Amino acid sequence: MVFWLKRRRPRAEAPRLRPRVAATELARVDFTELVPDPLPYLGQAASLQLAFFESLAKAVATSPDLVAKEGLSVASGEALAKHHALIEELRRADAEPAEYLAMFQAATDHFRQLTSGADWHELLLGIHLTSGMLDDFFLRLSDGLPVELGRRVRGILAERQGAPVLEHLLTQAIASEPGLADRLALWGRSLVGDTLLVARKALEAAEPEARHGEDVEPVFTELIAEHTRRMDALGLTA
Amino acid sequence: MVFWLKRRRPRAEAPRLRPRVAATELARVDFTELVPDPLPYLGQAASLQLAFFESLAKAVATSPDLVAKEGLSVASGEALAKHHALIEELRRADAEPAEYLAMFQAATDHFRQLTSGADWHELLLGIHLTSGMLDDFFLRLSDGLPVELGRRVRGILAERQGAPVLEHLLTQAIASEPGLADRLALWGRSLVGDTLLVARKALEAAEPEARHGEDVEPVFTELIAEHTRRMDALGLTA
């Protein structure tokens, strides 16, 4: 579905189509070697920010109190601003935004539905964890973009005012509702797989052998480490 | 429920508690004589912008195509930006935003539900017509605010990039779907009453006799004239 990454420097010395098992080999395949095709990169990133916006707007509309509503509306505005800034980069490159959004719409919609949860707290945790992982992912991938574009994209994705809002609301809820922590810990763990699939789809065309999971492990290891840190911050067992 | 307007210059020469029937008397009671209490004014205006944002975000999420989604997301961002700017004015006045939003939350939520329609097109028309009327209303009322605040509020509410987006999407839909015009014309007419009630609630405490409908007629006449113009622009019979 998503075929837009290539390796920065194909290395003829290494066999490309078989698993690498040595730890040093594994460690060498990191984000700096991945070169995203700019337009689909922007399209997928913009598509995901729109999904985060839609989920956050749903969280605003179903918010049980006004202070939470207010904080979430700020987070929602931030995701929307990221979406619009990424769309603006597509326009700047003379691309038709709708075309590049369309490439990812079905997958993004499916992902949003899978991660929206059964109630308001699960919705919030779903947004917090998946946007955390995927913002990290796209931020790191931006190192492989053309220099000026990469710089602007990092400026766009670096905004993280929404994350502390979500963390605060979740921490409050977990502290005041017995049993919520266990349920959310389970929910948080279940989100990892779907989120990594979104990231993996972006990578696999660049590295066909990566489908077997060997090559891009370091990338995912970093994403999972940050996921664990986010879960820890909430007092949830990752 | 909403008690925050007073007349700018109480006129002792005129009987305050009886209907004025002369046309010249009617014409004299206009927006420039209404003095909103700033904090509740900001609270109600912010509450309404948040409702428009929520409705627009719903329109984004349920949009049948990506170009519409994109345009609506811009309109949605504009309503949210207005909301946040009005909230910022409450903070600037050392008020607690949640307190002033809470004063209007139930009424605004009820209004949003009443005007959200049975499908996507009715949702769009509901937003277009009600936000058109109420943005006009609050823009005009801002003349009665303290000078500097009024100037800033006009800057906030004057943004209208969303309106042409809604008008364009509705015009397209009406042109391509036979029968839609008749249904939307009916829906558009039914929205006027609920919208005027929102405006009237803001006025009635200022002018108790206005409950009988005589005093603030010129205000509503203007709002209805602009509503009619919006309906006309869509080819709908008002």
- Average pLDDT over every residue of B135-164: 93
Give B101's contacts in chain A (Cβ within 8 Å): 66, 69-70
Contact A61 B61 (CB under 8 A): no
- Quote the minimal CA–CA distance from A127 to chain B in Å: 16
HSE of A178, CA atoms in CB hemisphere, 13 A: 0
Q: How far apart are CA B159 and CA B143, in angstroms?
A: 17
Which of A126, A158, A141 is closest to A227 using CA atoms? A126
Give B70's contacts in chain A (Cβ within 8 Å): 87, 97-98, 101
Confidence of residue B215 (pLDDT cuts 50, 70, 90): low
Q: How far apart are CA A181 and CA A169, in angstroms?
A: 13
What are the tens digits of pLDDT across the range B152-195?
999 999 989 999 999 999 999 999 999 999 999 999 999 998 99
Q: What is the third-level CATH fold of A34-233?
A: Ferritin (1.20.1260)
Which of A131, A122, A136 is closest to A221 using CA atoms? A136
> Rounded to the nearest 10 degrees, what angle do helices A120-141 and A147-157 cross at?
160
Whether A135 has a pLDDT exceeding 90, the answer reads yes
HSE of B162, CA atoms in CB hemisphere, 13 A: 32
> Which stretches of chain B are assigned E, i.e. beta strand?
5-7, 34-36
Give B74's contacts in chain A (Cβ within 8 Å): 84
- Quote the minimal CA–CA distance from B80 to chain A in Å: 7
Question: One-letter amino acid identity for A232?
Answer: D
CA dist A228 → A136, A165, A221 (Å): 13, 18, 10
Residue A117 gets the label, from left (phi > 0), alpha (psi -120 to 50) or beta, of left
- Quote the minimal CA–CA distance from B236 to chain A in Å: 30
Question: Quick one: which H or E segment has residue A7?
Answer: strand A5-7
Give A98's contacts in chain B (Cβ within 8 Å): 66-67, 70
CA dist B180 → B15, B18, B68, B174, B194 (Å): 48, 44, 18, 6, 22
The mean pLDDT of chain A is: 84
CA dist A27 → A15, A19, A36, A113 (Å): 16, 13, 20, 34
Residue to test with chain B: of A49, A70, A83, most B Cβ within 10 A: A70
pLDDT of residue B4: 58
Q: How far apart are CA A112 and CA A115, in angstroms?
A: 5
What are the tens digits of pLDDT across the range B58-80?
999 999 999 999 999 999 999 99
ipTM of the complex: 0.75
CA angle A80, A118, A104 (to 5 degrees): 40
pLDDT of residue A100: 93
Classify the C-alpha dihedral B204-B207-B208-B213 as positive or negative: negative
Whether A127 has a pLDDT exceeding 50, the answer reads yes
Which of A55, A200, A65, A199 is closest to A126 using CA atoms? A55
Q: How far apart are CA A42 and CA A99, in angstroms?
A: 11
Point out the residue among A60, A74, A84 whose CB comes nearest to the CB of B77: A84
Q: What are phi and psi of B105, to 5 degrees?
A: -60, -50
> Rounded to the nearest 10 degrees, what angle do helices B162-176 and B120-141 cross at?
150
Strand pairing category for B5-7 and A5-7: unpaired
pLDDT of residue B238: 74
Of A78 and B220, the structure prediction assigns the larger pLDDT to A78
Whether A207 has a pLDDT exceeding 90, the answer reads no
Which of A86, A71, A62, A41 is closest to B70 using CA atoms? A86
Considering only A26-40, A144-158, B7-21, B86-100, which range has the smallest mean pLDDT?
A: B7-21
Of A96 and A34, the structure prediction assigns the larger pLDDT to A96
pLDDT > 90 fraction of chain A, expressed in percent and rounded: 67
Whether B14 has a pLDDT exceeding 50, the answer reads no
Q: What is the third-level CATH fold of B35-233?
A: Ferritin (1.20.1260)
Whether A200 has a pLDDT exceeding 90, the answer reads no
Residues of A with CB under 8 A from a CB of B: 50, 53-54, 57-58, 60-61, 66-67, 69-70, 73-74, 76-77, 80-81, 83-84, 87, 97-98, 101-102, 105
pLDDT of residue A205: 45
Of B140 and B34, the structure prediction assigns the larger pLDDT to B140
SS3 B29: coil
pLDDT of residue A8: 52
Give the torsion through C-alpha atoms of A160, A165, A166, A170, to 10 deg. Answer: 150
Of B21 and A238, the structure prediction assigns the larger pLDDT to A238
Most confident of A28-32, A131-135, A220-224, B212-216: A131-135
Which position has the token pair 């925050």? Answer: B4
Confidence of residue B119 (pLDDT cuts 50, 70, 90): very high
Confidence of residue B6 (pLDDT cuts 50, 70, 90): low
Q: Are B151 and B89 in contact (CB under 8 A)?
A: no
pLDDT of residue B12: 37
pLDDT > 90 fraction of chain B, expressed in percent and rounded: 67
pLDDT of residue B203: 74
Which of B89, B81, B80, B78 is closest to B148 using CA atoms? B89
Strand pairing category for A34-36 and A5-7: antiparallel
- Quote the minimal CA–CA distance from B64 to chain A in Å: 12
Confidence of residue B220 (pLDDT cuts 50, 70, 90): confident
Cβ-Cβ pairs closer than 8 A, A with B, add up to 66
Give A83's contacts in chain B (Cβ within 8 Å): 73
Q: How far apart are CA A105 and CA A184, in angstroms?
A: 27
Q: Give the tokens for residue A149.
A: 């574009």
